[in-house]
Amino acid sequence: MTEEKTEGRTTTFRLFRFDPDKGLATSITEYTLSVPRGMTVLDALIRIKEEQDNTLSFRCSCRMGVCGSCGMFVNGLPMLTCQTQVVELESDTIEIRPLPNYDTLRDLAADLTPLFEKHKSILPWIIRKDAGELDDPKGEYLQSNDNLDWIYQFTYCLKCGLCLSACPTAASDAEFTGPQALAQAYRYMMDARDEGFDRRMEIIDAAHGCWRCHFATSCSQVCPKGVDPALAIQLLKREIVLRRLRLAKAGPAAEILTGPVKDAKRKEGVPEAPPKSVP
């Protein structure tokens, strides 16, 4: 085994530093680290914090590309640091900053509050005209395989905020609903079990809604899960136009399944479900 594979190559990390207790002053601090093959950017940051500077602040959780917490601006691109290996960046100098288009809480941690507020604004849950169905459910709602396939891609969203940080419209319009929220609006509006299309349309078919998107596709380029928010927004625009012109209408509401599916057969080898623990 060569010395390079054992020790790793020396890499300089230029990290953005910001301490809110010291006002608006910011700086760039350099750290040198021996990076072995397989080390992620997040691993490097954790090692710097443990061995060189315990005042360094950043956000992380699962370390496996699921929670979306560790999004940062690495060498000029928003990315999840936990699934980005240092050697893949092909640079001996790596500059890391907090995500743009957000306020900075401290060092590399961005304030994602606007992301979650915009996500909440599009009512990201199943809406039924009869609210009592959800308050007192009698069974599960049926959904066809075709309908699931249509929206499945857009259910992968981690709410990591990378798409909003890459969006040029969000950079100039703080009130823009944003690619994350609009993609999720399409996901719910096209769900056959949902009856809230008109209610959401009044929210997103507005001055700072979907029509502010200029299809730069930056959001889709940085999405770590391939959600493709840019595609969802264009499909959303098409659906809204068709509904406004009365060229399309909502399909029938999904039925409530109150018993076993007719003529359904259990797949061989699949065990029976355990009995209910709560009546």
pLDDT-derived band at 69 (thresholds 50, 70, 90) equals very high
Q: What is the pLDDT of residue 250?
A: 74
Closest CA to 46 of 30, 60, 36, 32: 60
Reading phi first (left if > 0) and then psi (alpha if -120 to 50, else beta), residue 241 is in alpha
Reply yes or no on whether the pLDDT at 67 is more than 90.
Answer: yes
CATH architecture of 3-110: Roll (3.10)
Reply yes or no on whether the pLDDT at 7 is more than 70.
Answer: no
Give the separation between CA 248 and CA 204, rounded to whole angstroms.
18
Answer yes or no: are the C-beta atoms of 86 and 35 closer than 8 Å.
yes
Q: What is the pLDDT of residue 1?
A: 39
Residues 261-269 have a mean pLDDT of 76
Residues 181-204 have a mean pLDDT of 95
- Domain borders along the chain are 3-110, 113-256
Give the separation between CA 73 and CA 102, rounded to whole angstroms.
12
Residues 120-127 have a mean pLDDT of 96
Q: What is the pLDDT of residues 134-187, one digit of tens each?
A: 888 888 888 989 999 999 999 999 999 999 999 999 999 999 999 999 999 999
Q: Render the burial of 153-173: b for 16+ CB within 10 Å, e for the rest.
A: bbeebbbbbbbbbbbebbeee
Reply yes or no on whether the pLDDT at 35 is more than 50.
Answer: yes
pLDDT-derived band at 3 (thresholds 50, 70, 90) equals very low
Q: What is the pLDDT of residue 256?
A: 76
What is the Cα 261 distance to its own chain's centre?
Answer: 34
Reply yes or no on whether the pLDDT at 240 is more than 60.
Answer: yes
What share of the chain has pLDDT > 70, as a percent? 95
CATH for 113-256, options being 1.10.1060.10, 1.10.8.50, 1.10.10.10, 3.40.50.300: 1.10.1060.10
Which helix (H) or strand (E) is 9 found in, with range?
Answer: strand 9-18
Q: What is the pLDDT of residue 279?
A: 60
Answer yes or no: are the C-beta atoms of 20 and 109 closer than 8 Å.
no
Residues 235-246 have a mean pLDDT of 93
